[in-house]
Amino acid sequence: MKANDVILQTVTKVVSFIILSFAAYLFFAGHHDPGGGFIGGLVTASALVLLFLAFDIRTISNGIPINYRLLVGIGLAVSTVTAVGRSYDSRFSHTFEYVDFPLFGEIELATSVLFELGVVLTVVGGTLTIILSISEDV
Amino acid sequence: MTNIIILLLIIPLITGLVLIFFRKHLRLQRWTSLISLIINGIVAVVVIQHVHNQGTQTLNLGGWEPPFGIVIVADMLAMLLVLATIIVAITCLLYAFKTIGEERERFYFYTFFHFMLVGVMGSFLTGDLFNLFVFFEVMLLSSYVLISLGGGKRQLRESIKYVLVNIVSSMFFLVAIGYLYGITGTLNFAHMSMRIAEAGQDGLITTVAIFLMLVFALKAALLMYFWLPGPYGAPPMAISALFAALLTKVGSYAIFRMFSLVFYHQEGMTHQILAWLGIITMILGAIGAVAHWSLRKILAYNVVVAVGFMVAGFAIFTTTSMAGSVFYIVHDMLVKALLFILGGIMIGLTGTDKLREMSGMIRNHAALGWMFFIAALALAGVPPLSGFMGKLLVLHEAIGEGFYVIAAVGLITSLMVLYSVVKIFINGFWGENQLSVEDEKMSTKGALLPCAILTVLVIGMGVGAEFVSPYIMQAAEVMSNPSLYIDAVMQITE
């Protein structure tokens, strides 16, 4: 007998977006409030894990065709490049600048956000690589 | 100019992560790995020359002043070990090309190889205790993967032991860092040393120092070597060679660094303990090396003996004895890689590591045999070869300073080490040839090249001791005079 997952799947469709937007909030809040790349990445991964639980691996893998092992590499590359990118003036350092945007007003743009983006990608890739490779039948 | 130091870590890091994307392209992976290591070797030579001319170089990451940011310190000791690491890595890589097999190469072997090098070289170069912990973990995590990669039954069994021991010792390390931070309020080596020098090394700090000694002793297989012989025999010899040449040396380096730079005020206590640890390690390691009839086990126990000797030499704590220890650690990295690679070829040819089942290999493999003979003599410290200078300096100081036990044990264990490797030579190469060329399990084509490189270096380091010794003396100078290091890091100028 096939179990009926209608309620779980319907709730997941809504909730996963809430979780993902919370993850985005945490990621951008990290500079001034609690949050940052690591927790943002974990929350993103938890949204994806919820999708994998409510549906099945093949459906979600077709819907979100990401190779999570490569995602780890991309994340590491992003973080490394933000560090090396500033080496031209002999400081391996982060910098920031205040930029006026037409709609949002003055916003602080910092290169540490790019570094954290690399952390997010690495954490998501690492977590899902672990979970998906454990779940696979050998 | 000082920015060039970070290249030593950035190059393998970038190589490792680029190779994640090309896991199916074996040829590309091999060439990229080799070229990046050669470039890194050139960088290391340039930095060594610079350090030789200008003194210790530092790089403040992020532009933060030393006690607040992480500082990368390239002094001569660290740089010599970095260069030796790169040489060992190049030769192990050349050997791995021939022997590691496509299965492993496809599953990120080269990526983890490079990540492990980042960890090893980062541990040598960092000037910050917590950063040292992080680089230790980078190195250990990669080594966990390398030891279990392939997933043979024996590899999995040994990797569980290895991971357990290292997780426990890493936790101790973290606790020790916590205590030390609670006492001194800083994590920077130089700043910590200044704080301890100002306040005096009381009983509490000495206790923490001994706790840290325990941690590094576990990593370096000093007395607590019970975990070492199993895991070092499990993975393919290319990986074992890398482990034997690098991993325990990082622990020894950490002991050298901490006890010459930070905890040098209570010599009677801490260095006495180090000396005894070294002596007991030498004796027990030599007994293990003599007792076994398995090639892998004999070589693994020789790693233990060398660690004991280095630490005992360091514990005498004069400039000359430390120079001897530095000479010996560099020599030992090269000669251990050479011995493990040669042993790997012997096991590859015969298909067994039991000495009683191999003989007469010199008929078909004269070059292999004589290189093994040279490596055996170098390991024991026979004069024209590289092991001699280090042992001579340490034994000279041991007798001069009244450490007669170290001198006696050092000499006796040298003899036992010589016996253990010559036992391999006699059983493996002399006698009736049981193995025709057709029966051999692998061809030595290409695998002899890394051995030849290392043999030339081992001979060169012994014959050219005059050329090497200014660099070694400079390293020992910084170790025996911590203010040189502290002034360079904290940028104190007169």
Q: Is residue B61 less than 8 Å (CB to CB) from chain A?
A: yes
Contacts of A76 in chain B (CB under 8 A): 17, 20
Joined together, the tokens standing for residue B95 give: 């050997």
* Alpha helix positions (H), B292-318: 295-316
Helix (H) or strand (E) holding A101: strand A96-101
pLDDT score for A2:
67
User: pLDDT digits over B364-408, tens only?
Assistant: 888 899 999 999 999 998 888 888 999 999 999 999 988 999 999
Q: Is residue B134 less than 8 Å (CB to CB) from chain A?
A: no
Q: What is the DSSP letter of B317?
A: -
pLDDT score for A138:
55
Q: Is residue B24 less than 8 Å (CB to CB) from chain A?
A: no
Average pLDDT value over all residues in chain B: 91
B333, with CB counted inside 10 A (0-12, 13-18, 19+), is buried
Question: 10 Å Cβ neighbour count for B327?
Answer: 31
Looking at the predicted structure, is the pLDDT value of residue B44 above 90? yes
Give the C-alpha distances (Å, rounded to integers) separating B486 from A65, A75, B489: 53, 36, 5
* More reliable by pLDDT, B330 or B362: B330
Task: Look at B13 and A80 and tell me if their CB atoms are within 8 Å.
Answer: yes
Contacts of A93 in chain B (CB under 8 A): 61-63
Joined together, the tokens standing for residue B164 give: 């357990």
d(CA B139, CA B246): 10
B223: left (phi over 0), alpha (psi -120 to 50) or beta: left
Task: Look at B6 and A87 and tell me if their CB atoms are within 8 Å.
Answer: yes
Would you say the pTM of this structure is higher than 0.90? yes
Question: 10 Å Cβ neighbour count for B50?
Answer: 17
**In chain B, which residue's Cα lies nearest the Cα of A69?**
B20
pLDDT score for B492:
67
Task: Please give the sequence-ordered ranges of beta strands (E in DSSP) within A24-121, or none if there are none.
Answer: 96-101, 105-110
What average pLDDT does this structure show over B175-200? 92
Contacts of B17 in chain A (CB under 8 A): 73, 76-77, 80
d(CA B169, CA B174): 9
Which of B17, B21, B61 faces A92 most closely, judged by CB atoms? B61
**In chain A, which residue's Cα lies nearest the Cα of B15?**
A77
> Are the C-beta atoms of residues B361 and B433 closer than 8 Å to each other?
yes
Contacts of B61 in chain A (CB under 8 A): 92-93
What average pLDDT does this structure show over B149-171? 91
**In chain A, which residue's Cα lies nearest the Cα of B115?**
A76
Going by their DSSP bridges, the two strands B57-60 and A105-110 should be labelled as unpaired
> Are the C-beta atoms of residues A74 and A119 closer than 8 Å to each other?
no
Q: Quote ipTM for the complex.
A: 0.89
Cα of B20 to nearest chain A Cα, Å: 6
d(CA B31, CA A132): 32
Looking at the predicted structure, is the pLDDT value of residue B162 above 90? yes
d(CA B327, CA B329): 6
Best CA proximity match to B271, nearest among B480, B77, B435: B480
pLDDT score for A89:
59
User: pLDDT digits over A17-68, tens only?
Assistant: 999 999 999 999 888 899 888 999 999 999 999 999 998 888 888 888 888 9
Phi, psi of A67 (to 5 degrees): -90, 105
Size of interface A-B (CB pairs under 8 A): 33
**In chain B, which residue's Cα lies nearest the Cα of A88?**
B3
> Are the C-beta atoms of residues B208 and B303 closer than 8 Å to each other?
no
> Are the C-beta atoms of residues B243 and B228 closer than 8 Å to each other?
no
**In chain A, which residue's Cα lies nearest the Cα of B3?**
A90
Task: Look at A76 and B3 and tell me if their CB atoms are within 8 Å.
Answer: no
Instruction: Give the least confident one: A97-106, A127-136, B220-229.
Output: A97-106
Which of A76, A80, A92 faces B62 most closely, judged by CB atoms? A92
Contacts of A94 in chain B (CB under 8 A): 62
d(CA B82, CA B127): 15
pLDDT score for B114:
95
